[in-house]
Amino acid sequence: MLVLALVLVLVAVALEVLRRSPAVAEARRARRLTAKLPHPAEYPLLGTAALVACSQEELYGRIQRVASAHGPLTRVTLGHLTFVLVLDPHDMEAVMTSAKAQNKSSVYTALVQYMGLGLITLNGDEWRHHRKAITPSLHLDILKDFVHIFYKKGAGLASELEQRADSAEVFDVTPLCAACANNSICETVMSSDLADDDPEKRNFIGIIPRALDHFMYRVFRPWFISNWGYCLHRTRYREYVQMMKDTNAFIMRIVREKKEKVLKTGEPISRSKRRQAFLEHVLASAEGAVLDEDELVEEVKTIVAVASGSSMVAIAFLIYTLAIRQDIQEKVRDEVIGVLGEGPGRAVEHPDLAHMQYTERVIKEVLRYFSIVPLFGRTVTEDLALPSGFTIPRGSQVAFWLPYTHHDPKWFPEPDKFDPDRFLPENSRGRHPFAYVPFSAGSRNCVGQRYAMMFMKTVVAAIVPRLRFEIPAGGPGRIEDIPLAMDLTMMVRGGANIRVHRIRHKALG
């Protein structure tokens, strides 16, 4: 009895300490001041966690239904965390441009091992330090030299697709898009000239989608967000730790090889006459020199992780869209052939991209319609007043759900209609600049958005003159019929299954 009484006393003391702690007080204040916001049903301790405790196939639909049912300001609670869904462009601008909301959401903690301590996960002075060091190495003068790599990888994707055309099989194009995106990233971002079949490189590329699965598993189970909590899951945590060890080892290998090359030659890589890739530029630049080896590894890991998932999915959705909309596919093909000429042969060069304006509008509409990275968040460090009249209390998490905003008929008439021409200058006039933010916005916007657009345009230009895509029998007949699922990015539920055909050009007989 004495032991039981002692345990009860200790529990009571622990609860009182928690009740009086500043963090708990802030969490309770945020919960209290957001109580009048519309919100789905909440339960003690769990909040609305039951809402998102579901499969990837169900998750997109559940979040979309909550946003649609409760409007542009909605409260969602996960355990002790209070989220405010901010979905109106005026309010989004206020949050994204405010110094009070520059820190990423605390749930990004679960991303640190996978994405590293880089631009996505860092906050405050550390984030500014990295942004200043990294941004010059993603300047247009660097990116335009990546086009020849993008084209080479796009041509490789076209060759892989041609083999599927010979067999007339139906297949999910997503894994081939992943290989194209990841091999491009290894060569451009990491400056790696390793062969695509290098064992460590292949293992590294294979880790990326598995690590994303771990992240989503943790985000929607708040008790697993911290590593001390996740380590209690013996099987998943053991696999996760091994994947992160392999990832760090591979990136460290690449960084050290590049640094050794500089030491061996005795001169900066930047003096080399050959084209310079991202990592080489960082190592050679005065800005990048402020990052030590560990910081550089973390930053490369961040950029690779973000670029990999989003680029893979964007290309897969683009091909799937062209397969459904044969009319749009023909217009893209005609434009590309008009720029490059009939038949395969001439590679895409950077100046060509400026002439592919319809193709660019198609890509923008894909990014609007499917919102490739649909959900991201910030932490509010001080009370933040919104134009709508509500004040978000400090300590709250702000979440942006782009499928709601990108399909708001106020900014996009007939939002469920796929229409690339809505991005013509005359049709974009008057649209709020924060109504379309596929790469986020404000000071924490995506530094790789130009990279992404150049990659997608170049790959499309490499494949559409050689191949025609179609949806097999039983597939969706309209874009609005595509079944969607999500993890960190959107995806086609059940796979982006297509069939491909070779195109015989007149010049080739």
Annotated binding site for heme: 446
| Contact criterion met (CB below 8 Å) for 98 and 384 | yes
| Contact criterion met (CB below 8 Å) for 87 and 376 | no
Q: For residue 43, list its beta bridge partners.
A: 47
Which residues are known binding-site members? 446
Question: Which residue's structure tokens are 């062969």?
Answer: 195
Sign of the CA dihedral with 468 first, then 403, 413, and 482 last: positive
Q: For residue 359, list its beta bridge partners.
A: none
| DSSP codes of every residue in 294-360 | HHHHHHHHHHHHHHHHHHHHHHHHHHHHHHH-HHHHHHHHHHHHHHH-SSS-SPP-HHHHTT-HHHH
| Contact criterion met (CB below 8 Å) for 189 and 279 | yes
Residues with Cβ within 8 Å of residue 454, at least 6 apart in sequence:
143, 144, 146, 147, 150, 350, 353
In whole angstroms, what is the distance from residue 305 CA to residue 308 CA? Answer: 5
In whole angstroms, what is the distance from residue 379 CA to residue 81 CA? Answer: 10
Q: For residue 376, list its beta bridge partners.
A: 400
Give the distance between the most distant pair of CA atoms in the chain: 94
Amino acid at the residue 398: V
| DSSP codes of every residue in 77-90 | EETTEEEEEE-SHH
CA distances from 399 to 54, 99, 394, 404 (A): 19, 16, 14, 12
